[in-house]
Structure 1
Amino acid sequence: MNTLTAKTTAQVRAKDVRFTGDTLRVQLSDGREIRLQMDDIPWLQWLARATPKQRANWSLEPGGYAIYWDDLDDGIEVCHLLDSQPIA
């Protein structure tokens, strides 16, 4: 078990979500930002196909551990975002 990853994941939370074209941008509580090209990630195709209105209707789960899109009835946990992409 990698305790360093688990500890970092437990502490970092989502603060804000933005979209730039086909890029999902998630601002983290420690000041870093995750940028993901949705079209390039198979498990984000549901979000890539969403309308701008559907993408805009997101909320943070309590504590910021996940982002949820009510219109799409789906969400993403921050730990999965951290595992999928280098953080800029």
Structure 2
Amino acid sequence: MDGRRIAVPLAWYPRLLGAMPDQRARWEIAGAGYGIHWPDLDEDLSTEGLLRGARAPGGSGRWVGARSVG
């Protein structure tokens, strides 16, 4: 983990978009920095996918703020 921040449109990830803010706020680093896990939502996103701008099927649009991961 190098401390960089990543910001992506929240609408790219429909499960996160449909979640309550407190559910989105409860995340953890997974796999020594290889991903992010939201236990309340059973959602996992890879760091590589976020850096590549990979979207979940059916997502587009609204931006979520950047958050430090390291």
- Range of TM-score over shorter length: 0.5 to 0.7
Structure 2: runs of 5+ lacking an equivalent: 55-70
Hey, what does 1:34 align to over in structure 2? 6
Q: Which structure features the higher share of strand residues?
A: 1
Q: Which structure features the higher share of helix residues?
A: 1
Identity of aligned residues (%): 37
1:49 aligns with 2:18: yes
Structure 1: runs of 5+ lacking an equivalent: 1-28
Normalised by the length of structure 1, the TM-score is 0.54
More contact order relative to length (CA 8 Å, sep ≥ 6): 2
Normalised by the length of structure 2, the TM-score is 0.66
Residues in 1 aligned to 2:42 and 2:52: alpha-carbon distance in whole angstroms: 22
Map residues 1-88 of structure 1 onto 2, 5 A cutoff: 29-39=1-11, 41=12, 44-84=13-53
Greater CA radius of gyration, 1 or 2? 1
Residue identity opposite 1:64 in structure 2: G
User: 1:53 Cα deviation (Å)?
Assistant: 1.4
User: 1:52 Cα deviation (Å)?
Assistant: 1.0
